[in-house]
Amino acid sequence: EAGVAQSPRYKIIEKRQSVAFWCNPISGHATLYWYQQILGQGPKLLIQFQNNGVVDDSQLPKDRFSAERLKGVDSTLKIQPAKLEDSAVYLCASSLGGFENTIYFGEGSWLTVV
């Protein structure tokens, strides 16, 4: 079974530029998550989708971050304009949903803002 796919793996941009990350979840997984992991910290949930609807985006900085999952499968996370403090790993994850709800993570997209 293929895992959660993310791209690009690494990105370096200057502050005030924009960047987009793509995620393809495990086939059949209805729930998709984007997490931000700053170096030395645990992952923080940015946004959670159930199919193509947003379940929770309470910690998404909406003035600069946006995410979509138009067809209920793959998803894009965009940052515009980027700030230095956005340097982090952006982790996409997916799950089937339901009671035994194991969440599977991709390898992450590593963003450095200079």
Partner 1 sequence: GNSVTQMEGPVTLSEEAFLTINCTYTATGYPSLFWYVQYPGEGLQLLLKATKADDKGSNKGFEATYRKETTSFHLEKGSVQVSDSAVYFCALLYSSASKIIFGSGTRLSIRP
User: Footprint of partner 1 on this chain (CB under 8 A)?
Assistant: 4, 6, 31, 33, 40-43, 45, 48, 50, 55-56, 89, 91, 93, 95, 97-108
Query: Which residue, 4 or 113, has its beta carbon nearer to partner 1?
Result: 4
Instruction: Find the shortest distance in angstroms from Cβ 81 to partner 1.
Output: 26
Q: Which position has the token pair 């293929």?
A: 2
Residue whose token pair is 């600069």: 64
Residue 16 CB, nearest distance to partner 1 (Å)? 28
- Residue nearer to partner 1 on the CB measure, 60 or 91: 91
The distance of closest approach from Cβ of residue 24 to partner 1 in the complex, given in angstroms and rounded to an integer, is 14
Q: CB-wise, 42 or 71, nearer to partner 1?
A: 42
The Cα–Cα gap between 102 and 72 comes to 19
Q: What torsion do the CA atoms of 6, 37, 64, 5 make, to the nearest 10 degrees?
A: 10
Dist. CA 1–CA 16, nearest whole Å: 38
CB 29 within 8 A of CB 96: yes
